[in-house]
Structure 1
């Protein structure tokens, strides 16, 4: 390794390093760091800013082997160079046994399809405890038996506490919980979190009862993304602090709200819960994205009643600062779903967009995918309407 750098302006070094990082050319960036001591620190800041931890069994899976590393390898690196932990800004943990595999991968890696590595990992706690300046955290913990939520019975209390500590870091601003049963951990989030994404999250009373109560300052979210299969009956009380003596999450400053809902009981009941969220952010919300996913013909369980088709509890007129409304309607298996859902959709637009002073743009996406006698027909239509204010 050279002791000094070639005589070039420092701005040029920064530009070269940034360009290599933006082009994901990590091999060249590593070589550059090894060529000169003065380039080691700026190179490491970019090389270790994003860390992805995955199952050690994914080495057999061609798609997963292209990114990420194991916690054991990351632990060895941290033990040799502890200062690297301060460079980590984004951390992702993937424990998803349902990654799509080829037949050869499935035969060569059966343990990956039946076992979650996260509860049994012995090095993950060390890695999580070392991170101090994290800004974004993504966590995916899926079940081996769809659609049941994953079990936390085998997860050690120390590992749960390590995840909870991450959620309380003062530097953390973005959290993405995917296929996760740790809704109760939201009660211990730090006050600096601004963006929260939730995919198929669940409540876990056992974990919640074992946690030491923490009363931090309230977290004022700026964006909240609710994806499909979130239990709204459980989620809404946690977000609104119902039944609690304090609020840890506040929606009063929320500006963006994308929501994807699966109608599994009553359209009215699901939208009533969503309306409670809208009432919390009625003075601040500027962008509302709604994907109802009403496929009323796909399954009797998802059927929308005749009364529900014409009654709509969502009242967009209360949103005083709303500037953009985007909605997605998706139909499959039968074209009749359009007829069944259109009264609900028209009612929503009529109630929400009439005499709206702040709304400047409405975008509607219509996705039709159904099978005909001659094959499968797929039709996508987008309609963007600019409104005069």
Structure 2
């Protein structure tokens, strides 16, 4: 998009020349430093040293606001009342934009998130109309979710928390014991490692796509060969889908269904993966057939992307496979996941455990252990050669 106020998708800020000196500390010196871009690719705001970006499906609505007192609107500001962010360059009128889920802007680490934003653009009516155009398109899909599932009571939830200390010790022991027996390799990735396209009818403001992550793209495949099970791939997946906790390292991880009927797994169902960590893992089922299902991550997840579980028949038994396409969910998660590698190793333990338990659930054996293949691509990934 050209850097021009004439572009129909660009909304320049109203830079009051009488107040220009007050904006210089925020990095705003001329019109190229402050503008709002809105198109099918998302909402993007630049205000000097600050920026904000979110997909259009996260736009909940907009309204005109103002006038303002200069002391409360000029510059980049945080509202202590509702944590909203203001990018202000004039005092007469502005646009208040609401988000379905809060987004980062002022905090460089992304820990502070804002449920709404006020901007003072030159043509606020045009920006309100543009935001409402996208918001109307996403309101229906965001509201159309499966019915919530009744949740466990406080006693059961407290019991799960109390078992975490012993569970962490057991998990660490298992991880160290298995690590030398895992066949793992890593290679450089490219655009071929992007996840499958998401069904449009299942993408709403709650979905956290790989584009919304932070840091590199990790494409990981965990596989085991199951022998002498007596089941075929479809029968094994029926058992897996009936109760995911039977395969998870449940001393520290629990799959809690939040939307959909218990005992089944269908497209549109939602779960949250509960862990003793600052992040839990809300996910939505976006694909299901006889031998596979796939989750997409939701807002609040440690990662942004998708994960697929599948089984296939061969002449020697069943191949069970977990495939992930993900980026750390935010900058803090990127530090824990990719730089310190803690999240990456937790993921390795969780899904290798899941693979081995799949073999046990089938009644068979896993003679060769777990193979883990990782392809790591910078973001955006380079084209396929």
Q: TM-score range by the shorter chain?
A: under 0.3
Higher helix share: 1
Q: Provide the TM-score with structure 2 as the length reference.
A: 0.24
Higher strand share: 2
Higher RCO, 1 or 2 (CA under 8 Å, sep at least 6)? Answer: 2
Q: Provide the TM-score with structure 1 as the length reference.
A: 0.24
